[in-house]
Amino acid sequence: MAELLHSKGKFGTAPVFLTAISTILGAVMFLRFGYAVGTVGFIGTLTIVIVGHMVTIPTAMSLAEIATNQKVEGGGEYYIISRSFGLTIGASIGLALYLSQAISVAFYVIAFSEAFGPVLLALQEGTGIDIAISKRLLGLLSVGLLAALMYTKGAKTGMWMLYVVVAILAVSLIMFFAGTGEPVENFLWRADKDNFFVVFAIVFPAFTGMTAGVGLSGDLKDPKKSIPQGTLFATLIGMMIYVLIAYKLAGSSAQESLIGDQLVMSKIAVWGPIIPIGLAAATISSALGSVMVAPRTLNAIAADKIIPIPRFNRVFGTIKKTNGEPVNASMLTCGIAFFFVLLGDINAVAEVISMFFMVTYGAICSISLLENFASNPGYRPSFKSKWYISLIGAVLCVVLMFKINTIYAILAIGLMVITYYVLTQSQRNKSDMASIFSGVIFQISRNLHVFLQKSKQEENMDEWRPSVVSISKDSFSRHDEFDLLRWISHRKGFGMFIHHIDGYLSKESAEEARECLKRLIKLTQVSKSSVFVDTIINPTYKASISQVLQLPGVSGKENNMALFEYYKTKYDALDEILDNIGLVKAVGYDTCILCSSEKKFGFTNEIHLWITSNDYQNANLMIYLAYIILGHPDWEDGIIKLFAIHPVDEIANERIKLKEMIKTGRLPISANNIRIIPIKEDVTTKEIINQSSKDADLTIVGYRSELVKKTGKDFFMGYDNVGNVLFVNSQNEKEIT
C-alpha cells in the first residue's frame, strides 16, 4: 500500500558527504581520467578540473547558501529551484534534472561493467568462448538488482554500503599513489586528437557528483546543516584528489597507455587488482546513489501536482508504506537506466548528463545571484556566498553547454521550454519567479530612482517625453481616461493613474482602498497596459490633487503633465477640474482635460488636431501626443489629420511653413492629411470643428489659460457633434526635432 511521502528525516551529514564523494571519485576517475591526461596533457587536464570547478564550486556555495536560509524538504535541487522560481519553472528544470539523474544510473552501471573487463578476459582466454557481450548483460543484470534492492530494502541499506565503498576507494587511491609506473612526462598542453571541450564533456560528469547528497534532503534530520557541510567538503576534497591524480598519471604512464588503456591506473598501483575493485565499488555506489536520488526528485514533482496528469501525480507521488520508499518512481528510474545501458556508449551518455546538470547548476547559481541582488530582508542564510561567484557559475554553465555540444544544448533548452509551455497551460494561476524577481526589480527601480535624482538637470527638449499623472473619481464607471493614459504610456511615455476615494483614512477606508487597488491592477492586466495604478483617500478631490502633484513620477523623474476627465453632460465635474488647474500650473505641469462622450474613442482610427494662429505654444505638444498615441497597437491603422485655422492673408505663408516641416521630417504627418482653413467672420472655430471632426475618433484642441479665465467652462462647451475631445495646455513650447 502506498501513501504520500512525508517521512521524517533519519540521516545526518555523513551520508551527504559519502554519497557526494563516492560519486565524484567514480567512473570517470577510474576509466576516463587517464584518457584526458593522455589527450590534452597535464596542463589541459588541470584546466578542465579548474574550469569544471568554476561551475561546481559556485553551485555548491549557492546550494549551501540557499539551504541555510530555507527549509529544504524532499526533492533536493528540485525543491530549491521550485520554491525560488515557482513550481512551473521548477518542474520544467526538475524533470530534466530527474532524467539526468536516471541516465546517470546507466552511466555508472556501464562503468561498473567495465570493472569486470579483466575477469571476463581471463574467462575468455581460459574457456576459449567469446563472451565480450557479457559486459552489457552484466549491466542489465546490475540494473535489475538495483531495482530489487530499492523495492525491498530502500535507501537505508544503501547508506550502510556507502561506508564500505568509501573505505575501498580510500585504499585504492592510497595504493595508486604509492605505485611508481614508468617515469615519463605528459605535462605539456596537448590537444592533437580530440577537441578540448569533447574531453571536458567526458570528464565533467565526475564533478557533478557533488550534488548527489542534496537529493536526500527529505531524509535528513537537519538539511540546513548537512547539505552545506557535506556538499562543500566533498567538492573541495574531490577537486584536490583529481589534481593529484592528474599529476600522478602525467608522470607515471606513456601517452599511448593513457589513451588506449581504460584501466591504466592498475598498471601504476602497488597492487593492480585494487583499481578494478575500487572502480566496481565506486561505480555501483554511484549508481546506488543516483537510483536513490532520482526517484525522490520525481516523487517531489508528482507530490506538488504540477504535472497536468492526475494519474501521473497519483502513481509517482506516493511511497511504499512498509519501507517509506517511492517505489513507483524507482521502477521508472530503473526502466530508463535499462534503456541507456542497452545503448552502451559511455561518452554519448556523459554528454547528455552534462547538458541537464549544467541547466540545473545554472538555475541554482542564478537563484543565489538574484537573491543577493534583491537584498530581501527575509533572505538571511547563515552561509553567505558572493554575487560575483554565483554570476561566474551561471554564465559558465550556459557557455560550456554550447561549447560541449551545441545541438544537445539546444535540444536540452528546447525540451525545457516545451515542458514549461505545456505546464503553464494548465497552471495559469501559478506565479513563477514573482517573489524573487519582484525583489530584483525593486532594487533596480530603487537604484535608478536614486541615480536619476542625483543626475537631475534641466529638461532637455530633445529627450522630452510625457510623464503623466491622472487623478480620477470615476475609475470604474468610465475607462476613457485610463485608455488614453495607457496609450500615452505604452512605449514613449509614463503613466500614473490614481483613484480618489472620498473620506478620511480609517480601517474601513483603507480596506476599501485595497479592494479598489486590486480592481485597478486587474484592469492593467486585462488591458495589458504599463500604467502604474494606486489609490488615495482624502475628504476632498482638491486635497488629493495637491498631494498627487507632489509625488515623483514612475520614471524616476518628476511628472510633467496632469490628465483630468469629465463626461460631456456632467459639467459639475468640469467645474471641479477648473477649480484645481491652478495647482497644476503652479507646479509647472502641462494640463490635459479629456471630455468623454457616448462615442468614446470610436474606431481608434482618426486623430484630428486643431491649431489656430494664436495657439502655437500648444501645437507641438498636441502633435507629440497624437504621434505617441498612434504608436499603440490599438491605433495600428490610425492616421493624424491636422487642421490649421488662420486668417486669409496668412494661409500662403502657413502652407509653405508646414510643407517645409514635413520635408525635413520634423512633422510626422502626411501632407495629404493637412488642411488649412481660413477664418470667417460669421463662422466660429467651434462650428468649424463640429463640422469637420464629427467623424474623428479623438479631437485634440489647445487652450490658453488666460482665455479660460475669461470664459470659464464655456470654452469647453459646445462640441456637441464630435466624440471625445482632448483639451491641451502646454506650460512651454515644445520643439519638434
Residue closest to 474 by CA, chosen among 351, 370, 354, 566: 566
Is the pLDDT confidence value at 613 over 50? Answer: yes
Could you give the CA distance from residue 136 to residue 114 in angstroms, rounded to a whole number?
Answer: 9
CATH for 733? 3.40.50.620
| Those residues with Cβ within 8 angstroms of residue 72's Cβ, 6 or more apart along the chain or in another chain | 66, 79, 80, 214, 217, 223, 224, 227
Residue 14 to residues 231, 262, 296, 723, Cα–Cα distance (Å)? 10, 31, 19, 77
Is the pLDDT confidence value at 701 over 70? Answer: yes
Give me the pLDDT at residue 4, please: 40
Is residue 62 within 8 A of residue 393, CB to CB? The reply is: yes
Mean pLDDT for 201-228 is 72
| Those residues with Cβ within 8 angstroms of residue 485's Cβ, 6 or more apart along the chain or in another chain | 468, 470, 495, 497, 529, 531, 563
- Share above pLDDT 90 across residues of the chain, in percent, rounded to a whole number: 22
Structural domain boundaries, residue 265: 2-426
Largest Cα separation within the chain, whole Å, is 122
pLDDT higher for 124 or 88?
88
Residue closest to 106 by CA, chosen among 355, 338, 345: 338
Give me the pLDDT at residue 88, please: 83
Is the pLDDT confidence value at 737 over 90? Answer: no
SS3 253: coil
Flag whether 507 is in a domain. Answer: no
Is the pLDDT confidence value at 1 over 50? Answer: no
Q: How close are the terminal C-alpha atoms of the chain, in Å?
A: 77
Could you give the CA distance from residue 582 to residue 588 in angstroms, rounded to a whole number?
Answer: 10
* pTM for the whole structure: 0.63
Is residue 735 within 8 A of residue 461, CB to CB? The reply is: yes
- Cell 592510497: give the residue: 174
- Share above pLDDT 70 across residues of the chain, in percent, rounded to a whole number: 80
Sheet strands (E) in 494-603: 494-502, 532-538, 561-567, 590-596
Flag whether 493 is in a domain. Answer: no
Is residue 487 within 8 A of residue 629, CB to CB? The reply is: yes
Decide which of 381, 403, 426 is a domain's last residue: 426
Sheet strands (E) in 345-437: none
Flag whether 460 is in a domain. Answer: no
Could you give the CA distance from residue 272 to residue 279 in angstroms, rounded to a whole number?
Answer: 12
DSSP structure string for 361-385: HHHHHHHHHHHHHHT-TT---SS--
Write down how long the chain is: 737
Q: What is the pLDDT of residues 264-285, one digit of tens each?
A: 898 899 988 888 888 888 777 7
Residue closest to 702 by CA, chosen among 644, 659, 660, 629: 644
Residue 659 φ/ψ, nearest 5 degrees: -65, -40
Is the pLDDT confidence value at 430 over 60? Answer: no
Sheet strands (E) in 473-524: 494-502
Residue closest to 398 by CA, chosen among 410, 415, 386, 385: 410
Flag whether 539 is in a domain. Answer: no
DSSP structure string for 134-160: HHHHHHHHHHHHHHHHHHHT-HHHHHH
Which residue type is seen at 113?
Answer: S
Could you give the CA distance from residue 468 to residue 488 in angstroms, rounded to a whole number?
Answer: 8
Is the pLDDT confidence value at 517 over 90? Answer: yes
Q: Look at the alpha carbons of 627, 628, 631, 632 in this order and tell me if their dihedral is positive or negative.
A: negative
Q: What is the pLDDT of residues 310-354, one digit of tens each?
A: 888 888 888 777 666 788 888 888 888 888 887 766 566 667 777
Is the pLDDT confidence value at 426 over 60? Answer: yes
Mean pLDDT for 644-663 is 77
Is the pLDDT confidence value at 12 over 60? Answer: yes
Flag whether 16 is in a domain. Answer: yes
Could you give the CA distance from residue 615 to residue 729 in angstroms, rounded to a whole number?
Answer: 10
| Grid cell listed for 45 | 587536464
Q: How many CB atoms lie within 10 A of CB 231?
A: 27
CATH for 221? 1.20.1740.10
Strand pairing class (590-596; 725-729): antiparallel
| Those residues with Cβ within 8 angstroms of residue 447's Cβ, 6 or more apart along the chain or in another chain | none
Q: What is the pLDDT of residues 566-602, one digit of tens each?
A: 998 888 889 999 999 989 999 999 999 999 999 999 9
Is the pLDDT confidence value at 299 over 80? Answer: yes
Mean pLDDT for 664-684 is 78
Q: What is the pLDDT of residues 16-28, one digit of tens each?
A: 888 788 778 877 8
Strand pairing class (2-4; 494-502): unpaired
Flag whether 494 is in a domain. Answer: no
Decide which of 361, 394, 426 is a domain's last residue: 426
Residue 697 to residues 3, 601, 639, 693, Cα–Cα distance (Å)? 64, 5, 10, 9
DSSP state of 521: H
Is the pLDDT confidence value at 709 over 90? Answer: no
How many structural domains does the chain have? 2
Per the prediction, the chain carries an average pLDDT of: 81
Flag whether 581 is in a domain. Answer: no
Flag whether 512 is in a domain. Answer: no
| Grid cell listed for 487 | 496609450
| Grid cell listed for 659 | 510643407
Question: Helices 223-250 and 155-178 meet at what angle, rounded to 10?
Answer: 30
Mean pLDDT for 672-683 is 84
Of 30-39, 79-88, 304-313, least confident by mean pLDDT is 79-88
Decide which of 379, 394, 426 is a domain's last residue: 426
Distance, CA of 651 to chain centre: 58
Could you give the CA distance from residue 267 to residue 264 in angstroms, rounded to a whole number?
Answer: 5
